[in-house]
Amino acid sequence: MFVALAIFEHCPRRWLDSAKELRAALDAAVAAGSFTCLGTMVVPFSPQGITACAIVSESHLALHSWPEEGRLFVDIASCSTREGVLAAIDAIAKAMPEGSLTVLDERVVEPGGARLAADQKLGGGGDL
């Protein structure tokens, strides 16, 4: 099982509160990771925020937005490959408006629970 967690900040409020934009980012992540999508759900909250999830044969992808803080929390788990998980994270980053992305935290957990060193995370830490 490969698990990636990332918190992106300085994201535009309008983008974070758009069900259409988050669904597009989720769909791009599923495709980039070569995951088999079984179903998706996008739930907007009042007064703001959205949770978008994809259940995939390999496990799941979840995006949770906090427009009032300019943050997006991403949780991806897969029983397939590390590369697929990283490609999915990268697709979400590319779906964001240019210049809005700062990675606050990122973690990849490999099978057996070993956490990667900082210079190994998400393709070297500079790919996002």
- 102 or 93, which is more confident? 93
Q: What share of the chain has pLDDT > 90, as a percent?
A: 62
State yes or no: cis peptide before 47, omega within 30 of 0.
yes
Dist. CA 78–CA 3, nearest whole Å: 6
Res. 24 pLDDT band, cuts 50 70 90: very high
**Catalytic annotation, pick one of 34, 37, 53, 59:** 59
SS3 content of the chain, % helix, strand, coil (to 5): 35, 40, 30
In which element (H, E) is residue 84 found?
helix 82-95
Predicted confidence at residue 119, as pLDDT, reads 47
Instruction: Let me know if 11 is a catalytic residue.
Output: no
Say whether domain 2-123 belongs to CATH 3.60.90.10.
yes
Q: What share of the chain has pLDDT > 70, as a percent?
A: 77
- 85 or 107, which is more confident? 85
Find the radius of gyration of the CA atoms of the chain.
14
**Catalytic annotation, pick one of 11, 64, 65, 78:** 64
Res. 107 pLDDT band, cuts 50 70 90: low
Instruction: Let me know if 46 is a catalytic residue.
Output: no
What does the pLDDT look like over 33-55, one tens digit per residue?
A: 999 999 999 999 999 999 999 99
Looking at residue 14, what DSSP letter applies? H
Instruction: Let me know if 80 is a catalytic residue.
Output: no
Predicted confidence at residue 127, as pLDDT, reads 42
Span of 18-22, 56-60, 75-79 with lowest mean pLDDT: 75-79
